[in-house]
Structure 1
Amino acid sequence: MSQKLPYLLIDDDFTLNYGIIVLILYKLGLSTKKNAVLDFEKLQIFLYLVKNPSKINPLLALAGKKFTPINSQYTYTIESLSTNVDVLFDRSKLKFLLRQLAARGMLECDSLTDPKSLKYLLSPNGIQFAESLTSSAPETNKDSDFNFSTPPPAENYFVAALEVISSLIAIQSQTTTRLNAYLNTIFKGN
């Protein structure tokens, strides 16, 4: 009998990543003018930032945006403070998640907003699913700010994830090239 305990890498958990992608698309998929804004690369950057919230405020500062108070319980973790950039370069995981969303009828694509780029957004089924993930969240969670001073209930991780995702609204309109430049500056420590 093996004396080793199984080690589960939570970063690779399908249901967790599926839920995070759904919430990113739910909160950031459409601009205030209702145009689709998330292409593959921007979605990948936002996924990285949600998983590494300690990088959000430095990025907001570089973008000239207002500081967003993020609960220290999310930012001061070993994983969040590390510079593991695998999420930014492993396209296969995000492709798999997008295929699963499409197969379940939760994903729509828009090539009309910008014919040079395919944009992703949630279908009505996807929106309904996203809202079910945060059903214990206050009714104001759609278009308003969260109360950042108190953490959400521990039983709903997706409410906490939505809180972090909401902090990215300020950079939603930034180009992918600019977001990559900001991240490179952060990684270099400048």
Structure 2
Amino acid sequence: MNKLPYVQPEREVFYCLGILLLVISALAETKKGKKVLTIDKLQSFYFLASRPDFLNSVLVLAGKTSLAIDEVDYYTVETISLNIDELFDRQRILQMIKILSSKDYMDAGYSKTDGYFFNLTYEGHIAASKLEGSYFEKVRGFIERISAFQSYSPNKINGYIKSVLVRG
């Protein structure tokens, strides 16, 4: 008898790339058109977008409006045993950036003061708009709340994240 493989959704590459596309699509620029999505912010925003329970804790700590999260999002393996590797694994986010860039979905600009800024190309925006289904709709809602941190420095965002990690 063959065993079926157990696939962890949060590790499935297409799932992760979809979340990353949505994060870049929504958070690369402010409403005034200022590019703000550096590699540090991208990594933090991706981490928060894929962990709604943790995002809620960060929102509350920052004095922002919390999310209404479904029960299924509270009681997952990820919330019971939080894996923070993605918060510190720069190589993983760079691999996902390479994949999106190879598909001509991403573009990058450079600033001497802040380094690289990431954005989607026209093709990337089309791909992001085609992501459908209830889970991706939830992720869009999470990202909408993350937009409150767009103007924050990466250090300030990571400070909130670290405070939540320390509190447990």
Fold agreement, TM-score > 0.5? yes
1:81-134 per-residue CA deviation (whole Å, 9 max, x = no partner) reads 43321111111211111011111111111224x643211011111111111114
The one-letter code sitting in structure 1 at the alignment partner of 2:67 is T
Alignment of 1:32 with 2:31, yes or no, is: yes
Counterpart position of 2:141: 163
Alignment of 1:121 with 2:109, yes or no, is: no
- The SS at the match of 1:187 is helix
Q: Give unmatched runs, 5+ long, in structure 2.
A: none
CA contact (8 A) 1:52 1:81 kept: no
Shift of 1:76: 3.5
Alignment of 1:94 with 2:93, yes or no, is: yes
Counterpart position of 1:172: 150
CA contact (8 A) 1:60 1:171 kept: no
Instruction: Supply the distance in 2 between the matched residues of 1:74 and 1:9 (Cα, whole angstroms).
Output: 15
Which has more radius of gyration? 1
Number of residue pairs the alignment of both structures matches: 168
- The SS at the match of 1:118 is strand
CA contact (8 A) 1:52 1:75 kept: no
1:49-87 per-residue CA deviation (whole Å, 9 max, x = no partner) reads 122111122212222323333334323323134332111
Q: Percent identity?
A: 29
Instruction: Supply the distance in 1 between the matched residues of 2:68 and 2:10 (Cα, whole angstroms).
Output: 24
Tell me which protein shows more helix as a share of its residues. Answer: 2
What's the TM-score once normalised by structure 2's chain length?
A: 0.89
| 1:26-105 equivalences in 2 (<5 Å) | 26-105=25-104
CA contact (8 A) 1:31 1:37 kept: yes
Instruction: Supply the distance in 2 between the matched residues of 1:45 and 1:180 (Cα, whole angstroms).
Output: 7
1:32-60 per-residue CA deviation (whole Å, 9 max, x = no partner) reads 11111111111111111122111122212
The one-letter code sitting in structure 1 at the alignment partner of 2:144 is S
Q: Give unmatched runs, 5+ long, in structure 1.
A: 135-154
The one-letter code sitting in structure 2 at the alignment partner of 1:55 is F
Counterpart position of 1:111: 110
Counterpart position of 2:21: 22
CA contact (8 A) 1:54 1:76 kept: no
